[in-house]
Amino acid sequence: MRAKCAMYARVSTRDKQETMNQLAQLREFCQQQGWLVATEYIDHETGSVSTRAEFQKMLLHASQRKFDVLLFWALDRLTREGTLATLQYLERLTSYHVGYKSFTEPYLDSCGTFKDVVISLLATMAKQERIRMGERVRAGIAQARRAGKRLGRPPLAVLTAEDITKLRKERARTKVPFRTLAGKYGISVFTAHQLCTRNGR
């Protein structure tokens, strides 16, 4: 049975001739491989965002196994969201048992002889990129702490018995919202509610 191929293209509306040339070459390549062109996804948006309509449709159809292999002109046509995001998309396709191939980058081919090597290498690269991102985040936090910056939520106040009495009286007298009391006394909304209820007394 012939493999079903989907083509993804992210193209410019300003150069229609180049767009048609790219798509024509992709279609011709599919025929040479003996693949059946199942569908074409074409976006006219920046590759730096994941909300591209056709891109999201392609991922959905991949998860539903509506095609066997995804063909794109070049990796930067697929996405420009950064190394980790790019690798994660390729990992997703692999998890859906969908192959992928870059027309202009012969080494980026999960359908060829070195399929297992390519997939293993990309998975390792994605893992290393996640580790590096984590290290950068931790380094940033450490630097902020050295600079004396407070991180995270501010600590909740510890109320005295007198404060609790004032809080309860204010609530009883004005029926002010618990959220307002929480902000005023530096406590959580839940704590303010508990202190003002019968069980909290």
pLDDT value at position 6?
Answer: 96
116 Cβ contact list (under 8 Å, min separation 6): none
pLDDT value at position 176?
Answer: 85
List the chain domain ranges: 4-130, 161-200
The structure tokens listed for 110 are 């999960």
pLDDT value at position 44?
Answer: 85
Say how far apart CA 76 and CA 114 lie, in whole Å: 22
Q: Which residues of the chain have pLDDT under 50?
A: 199-201
pLDDT value at position 14?
Answer: 66
3-state helix/strand/coil string of 5-29:
EEEEEECCCCCHHHHHHHHHHHHHH
Query: In sequence order, what E strands does the chain have?
Result: 4-10, 36-43, 69-72, 99-102
pLDDT value at position 200?
Answer: 46
- CATH class entry, domain 4-130: alpha beta
Could you read off the pLDDT of 130-180 as tens digits, one per residue? 677 777 777 777 777 777 776 666 566 677 888 888 888 888 888 888 888
pLDDT value at position 37?
Answer: 92
